[in-house]
Amino acid sequence: MSDKGDLTISSGKKLYACGNKRPGIVTTSVPKCIRKRPRSSTSSTLHVSVGRSDATVLNPSDRSKVISVNRPEANAEHPTAPTRIRRIIDDSLHLSAWREEDLLLSSGVGKLARVKLSASPALEAKRLWAVSRLCRNFEKAVSIHLGSCWANTFEEFLLCHDGVDDPIIPGDERIVSFLHSRLHAKKVSSLAVEKIVGTLIPLVRRMREYINQSCEQVQESDILPTKIVVKKHGSRVKLSLNDTTVEVNAEHYEKLRHLFKLQTSYVQSGCHNDDDNNFESAAFALLCRYTAAQGGTFNTVAGHHAALHGAVFDVLRDGMGIDVECFASPLNCRWHRYCSPFVDTDATFGSLGSFFDFTPSEGSFECNPPFDEEYIFRTVKHITALIEAAERASKALSFVIITPHWPGKTSWENMAGCPHVTHVEIIPLREHGFLEGAQHAKQTQYRIASCDTSVVFLQSKSGRKKYPITQMFLSALRLAFRPHQELNQF
Ligand SMILES: C[S@@+](CC[C@H](N)C(=O)[O-])C[C@H]1O[C@@H](n2cnc3c(N)ncnc32)[C@H](O)[C@@H]1O
């Protein structure tokens, strides 16, 4: 591990500069006090501020010491994000035309050119109704055994889908195996499990049937745009189509509009993002899809959508050249290029499609997958294949994977034992936090972590040479992860 790096770090009033390596970015050497700070340190007067993010404030009583960094201005082809949304989106990343093209060509969106890249608002409203109904019945069937955990379990139930029959509702076989493994783990008797399966499977089939029939009824004219009624109430925006209403924070609504406009400037999705009507229809369909995936209108948990702080993304961007999130949604992405689960609703907001269809040959990427063993297995398998291809081509490829620290669980041991791992950093429970999974819908934005987190670096040889994982970088990363609850009013 080397001690060199190029992050911006301030200690009190003194800025430790060691030269400008990239335009607009002040490069500094690390102060000794950071190098010497023990990994478990819980208090500090040091601050890290990189870019326009929600800066890491280590000593809230002394915010004046947070420094900012000058960034290059936007160019004409890259619309600037309004100041009011810069807390939740970093628009300082202007990818070169070459990088944009390379990302698109290696993405699901680029490869699956014939996939429909728009969703019907009417159909998404019906899917949301069906999933919400399923959620109510799931609660009735399992809450007696799982208590308040039922809601999180329902979200995990939806996560086990394979996307074959429906983008959200899992197939029968997966449902049966999910219910057996989850309920047996909670010591529910085999008889009770069979009863639950017997209640839920017919209902799931009816809901899938209902969605399929609705799908057939949707005419070409129902595909974007549809007239959506939009009402603003203070910091909230309500979007309605007939009797279905979805809500979002005004800040996130503006973020969606910005991503939509940006996508227009690339015109890669095949959609014509050219008027408000299109935007409102696309935003309504998107909100219905994610509300459904997060448990439905009846109960939104969104435990698997928690995001890293903006300050963590800034450290990853400046320290390792990371410019793409491998697991995201248009609601929680930090940058305008990201992978996400639903290409039909998300591509018009800049998504590159599913991470498992994304095959970049070089560059650096952030991966914060849903905290689920199967996802972690698949992610590591996919990354291993990509790094092996990069080794053969002598390309620099790096991934940073953020997961719960789960020693003893096979998915975690498999990841930590991967031959391409260059470093594993463990961040203790009390020393970090995240942005809420339902950040787009909640008033409070930040929460503390519920377990230790591991940050695992996987790199090709050239990737390791280009971006060695330095002590200075790791110190800045840990500072950026620190809990942010004091910033909960926005
Ligand atoms: C823990 S959150 C990550 C939030 C944030 N983008 C970050 O990186 O900190 C996991 C995200 O994975 C996304 N996701 C689920 N399946 C996916 C897939 N196949 N490809 C890409 N993203 C996916 C979900 O939409 C969810 O927002």
For residue 339, the ligand 1 atom closest to its alpha carbon is 21
- 351 Cβ inside 6 Å of ligand 1: no
CA quadruple 148, 154, 155, 161: dihedral, nearest 10: 160
Per the structure, the count of domains in the chain is: 2
Mutate which of 316, 340, 447 for ligand 1 pocket (most atoms within 8 A of beta carbon) = 340
226 in a structural domain: no
Cβ burial of 361 (10 Å; 0-12, 13-18, 19+) is: middle
Given ligand 1 and candidates 88, 315, 329, 455, which is best to mutate, with the most ligand atoms within 8 Å of its CB? 329
213 Cα–ligand 1 center, Å: 29
> Are 62 and 188 members of one domain?
no
H-state helical runs in 322-452? 343-346, 373-392, 410-416
Angle at the Cα of 79 from the Cα atoms of 78 and 82, rounded to 5 degrees:
140
Same domain, 328 and 427: yes
**For ligand 1, is residue 403 a contact (CB within 6 Å)?**
no
Q: Which of 182, 197, 217 is the last residue of a domain?
A: 217
Q: What is the pTM of this model?
A: 0.83
Does 387 fall in a domain?
yes
126 and 65 inside one domain: no
What is the position in ligand 1's atom list of the atom closest to the CA of 367? Answer: 8
305 pocket-lining for ligand 1 (C-beta < 6 Å)? yes
Asked if residue 310 and residue 184 are part of one domain, the reply reads no
Amino acid at 265: S
Binding site membership of 406 for ligand 1 (Cβ less than 6 Å): no
Q: Is residue 306 lining ligand 1, measured as CB closer than 6 Å? A: yes
Q: Evaluate whether residue 80 is within a structural domain.
A: no
Q: How many CB atoms lie within 10 A of CB 447?
A: 18
Same-domain pairing of 318 and 172: no
Query: Which tops the pLDDT comparison, 128 or 264?
Result: 128
Task: Assess whether the C-beta atom of 464 lies below 6 angstroms from ligand 1.
Answer: no
Q: 314 with 415, same domain? A: yes
Do both 357 and 467 map to the same domain?
A: yes
Is 455 within a domain? Answer: yes
Say whether both 330 and 471 belong to one domain.
yes
455 and 394, same domain (yes or no): yes
Residue 161 lies in a domain: yes
Count Cα neighbours of 472 within 13 Å in the Cβ-side half-sphere. Answer: 21
Least confident of 8-22, 209-223, 263-277, 357-371: 8-22
List, for residues 216-255, the tens digit of each pLDDT value: 777 655 555 678 999 999 899 999 999 999 999 999 999 9
Q: CA-to-CA distance for 96 and 409, rounded, in angstroms?
A: 41
Clarify whether residues 477 and 340 are in a common domain.
yes
Best-predicted range by mean pLDDT (85-99, 251-265, 336-350): 336-350
Tell whether ligand 1 has an atom less than 6 A from the beta carbon of residue 370. Answer: yes
Residue 420 lies in a domain: yes
pLDDT confidence bin for 2, thresholds 50/70/90: very low
pLDDT tens digits, 360-410:
999 999 999 999 999 999 999 999 999 999 999 999 999 999 999 999 999
With vertex at residue 321, the alpha carbon angle to CA 255 and CA 388, rounded to the nearest 5 degrees, is 115
Mean pLDDT confidence for 1-23: 32
Confidence check: pLDDT of 54 > 80? no
Task: Please give the torsion angle defined by the CA atoms of residues 175, 177, 183 and 188, in that order, rounded to the nearest 10 degrees.
Answer: 120
pLDDT of residue 251: 92
Q: Out of 159, 182, 217, pick the residue that ends a domain.
A: 217
Return the pLDDT at 9.
31
Which phi and psi (to 5°) does residue 167 adopt?
-70, -15
Q: Does residue 300 lie in a domain region?
A: no
Tens of pLDDT, residue by residue over 137-196, are 999 999 999 998 898 899 899 988 887 788 999 999 999 999 999 999 999 999 999 999
Q: Which of 189, 217, 245 is the last residue of a domain?
A: 217
Kindly report the protein residue whose alpha carbon is nearest to atom 7 of ligand 1.
307
pLDDT at 321 (0 to 100): 96
Residue 347 resides in a domain = yes
For ligand 1, what atom is nearest to the CA of residue 328? Answer: 6
| pLDDT at 71 (0 to 100) | 36
Measured distance CA(14)–CA(7) in Å, rounded: 15
**What is the radius of gyration, based on Cα positions, of the chain?**
23
192 lies in which domain range? 121-217
Distance 336 CA to ligand 1 centre (A): 14
Q: Measured in angstroms, how far is the CA atom of residue 339 from the centroid of ligand 1?
A: 7
Query: Is the CB of 333 inside a 6 Å radius of any atom of ligand 1?
Result: yes
